[in-house]
Structure 1
Amino acid sequence: MGVASPTPLRTKKTRAVGIPTIDFSLESSILSQKIVQACEEYGFFKVVNHGVPNHMIATLEKEATDFFAKPALVKQQAGPPTPFGYGSKNIGFQGDMGQLEYLLLQTNPHSISQASKSISANPTSFSCAVNDYIQSVRGLACEILDLVAEGLKVPDKSVFSRLIRDVESDSCFRLNHYPPAPMPLNKWDPSPPLNTASSRVGFGEHSDPQILTILRSNDVEGLQICTHDELWFPVPPDPNQFCVFVGDALQIHLP
């Protein structure tokens, strides 16, 4: 879960293209075909009717907003990230470029319960919000991976989702918070000098090493996806949808 950077920096051309949006109310065989096609052609798609309850999303978002609104010294009590915990840093000018603060947690109820003591004045409220959200989104992730396996005609339909369901899974949960934009979005220069304030972005060009990333963005512009022909296209934010990214670990299994 995160907020898209409101000041994207791209040195390459951008264009608007149709973004694959998949309705999870469709029949399973149709879903599997659409998901595999989106994975192969874009490595990315959005899902609607995903089944994650709105009240869970709203509760978690409030907990996250309350935490990041705290003074820096208070937030630092939840860090440093080793690798889990609170972190605040400027990302380097190679690869992931930008500025952000974040909470990185293990998707383990006990670990979250322990971490919550230094995150929230009401640890039970925070841990319940996070655990409920993780459980629901994990279900969505497993369903997506089972449909990918079905679409690829893999004999064992749970071959991918087992990586997430396993009690020893190394899945992570991350909350990102980005600094305010230095200028309105509609005035940004797509190729400014790197030493100017307008070059600041929340997260730069990168791919995700894991099998799958499921992102919910607040209603903020900025997220862009790079196509196979190295053109960038914007992904308009929609709080009612989830963005799904194919990670490097899954990409090697796709044609």
Structure 2
Amino acid sequence: MVVPSARLPAANKLLPCLPFPVVDLSWRRTRAADRLTRAAEDLGFFKVVNHGVVASAAAMATAAASFFALPPGDKLGAGPPSPLGYGVRNIGFNGDMGELEYLLLHSHPAHVAMKANSIPNLNASHFSEVVNEYVKQVRQLAIELLEMLAEGLGLQDTRVFSRMLEDTDNDSLIRFNHYPTPPCLPGSADDDRVGNGTGSVRVGFGEHSDPQLLSILWSNDVDGLQIRLPSTSDEHDVEWVPVPADPTALYVNIGDLLQVMTNGRLISVRHRALANSSRSRMSTVFFAAPSLSTRISPLYEMINKSHWPRRYKSFTWGEFKRAMYT
């Protein structure tokens, strides 16, 4: 979940780039499932290659760029983020601030089309077609990854996670982020920075975990994503690791719901994005979520000697989402 963290202690350490787990979907399925499950347990994060979404991602990036290139008044046609819509700098309802503008949409095709038609001077039909095709492909990838996670965990029902995305009422979202070079955003200030042990840098999106099942990220060739090492226990000695940009790959974050359903075996990774001072960064995130009425609780098979006792109470995704925004 998003937490107010635009200013972190100067003692935060920025570590060199590490060799992140890479899952190649052209591998034998058992090998790929084992690799991504171990990455989800150890880090809550992994990189996916040979995913088959390259052409769709490129078209989607072009469509998103056409939206962000519109005049400010036209972009406001998407409506204020409540939470869906167009936002500038303000992130959520907790007072979080960042150096970005974003468009957050429900992944349902009808919602994408409705929002596109509300934006002046946007080629609405083309935008809707491209975005919906990308959502279709990345949602199918999310289903496949969730089933591979269930296989890697040794669950009897290997569709226990993916079934939630196959529900027509699933609450999945798609968000487009634009981190422009300064001073392009209204209200930008020089003090929106964090210490990283090497000087000050601009916060694009502050530290948070994603509340959904998992999120799948695409970005252009500009660095900015960082993940927090899960082993860190001292809040005043946070270790951040930069993730090198790769527009041909997709990055997967394990979310809060999977951490709960696996009774803490999988890690909901904390991450943030920094804004580049010389080049604009674009990213797109698909948030895989169940329907609002879906009840979430630790799976019986995940409550065992290694993960005992049961660590989380039951709740619906709707209840958790409301708590997140209030």
Asked if 2 retains the 8 angstrom alpha-carbon contact of 1:91 and 1:99, the reply is: no
Asked if 2 retains the 8 angstrom alpha-carbon contact of 1:9 and 1:200, the reply is: no
- Counterpart secondary structure, 1:203: strand
- Counterpart secondary structure, 1:105: strand
Q: Is 2:229 the counterpart of 1:223?
A: no
Superposed CA offset, 1:46-90 (max 9, x none): 0000111x3212211111111101111111111112221211134
Q: Is 2:99 the counterpart of 1:99?
A: yes
Distance change in 2, residues 1:232/1:189 (3 Å): closer
- Counterpart secondary structure, 2:245: coil
Deviation, 1:42, is 0.5
- After TM superposition, list the pairs within 5 Å mapping 1:65-214 onto structure 2: 65-91=65-91, 96-119=96-119, 121-180=122-181, 190-191=196-197, 198-214=200-216
Asked if 2 retains the 8 angstrom alpha-carbon contact of 1:179 and 1:202, the reply is: no
Q: How many residues align?
A: 237
Asked if 2 retains the 8 angstrom alpha-carbon contact of 1:99 and 1:178, the reply is: yes
Q: Where does structure 1 differ by over 3 angstroms across 4 or more consecutive aligned residues?
A: 8-11, 94-97
**TM-score under structure 2 normalisation?**
0.68
Which structure 1 segments of 5+ residues have no match?
Answer: 1-7, 183-187
Superposed CA offset, 1:20-66 (max 9, x none): 111110111111111110000000000000111x3212211111111
1:149 aligned partner, one-letter code: A
- Counterpart secondary structure, 1:138: helix
Residue in structure 2 matching 1:246, options 249, 254, 272:
254
Which structure 2 segments of 5+ residues have no match?
Answer: 1-6, 184-193, 233-238, 266-326
Separation in structure 2 between the aligned mates of residue 145 and residue 42 of structure 1, nearest angstrom? 16
Q: Greater strand share, 1 or 2?
A: 2
1:249 aligned partner, one-letter code: L
Deviation, 1:151, is 0.8
1:169 aligned partner, one-letter code: N
Asked if 2 retains the 8 angstrom alpha-carbon contact of 1:45 and 1:244, the reply is: yes
Asked if 2 retains the 8 angstrom alpha-carbon contact of 1:15 and 1:232, the reply is: yes
Separation in structure 1 between the aligned mates of residue 111 and residue 32 of structure 2, nearest angstrom? 34
What is the match of residue 41 of structure 1? 42
Greater RCO (CA < 8 Å, at least 6 residues apart):
1
Q: Greater helix share, 1 or 2?
A: 1
What is the match of residue 15 of structure 1? 15
Percent pairwise identity: 47
**Cα RMSD (Å) of the superposition?**
2.3
**TM-score under structure 1 normalisation?**
0.86
Asked if 2 retains the 8 angstrom alpha-carbon contact of 1:10 and 1:191, the reply is: no
- Counterpart secondary structure, 1:167: coil
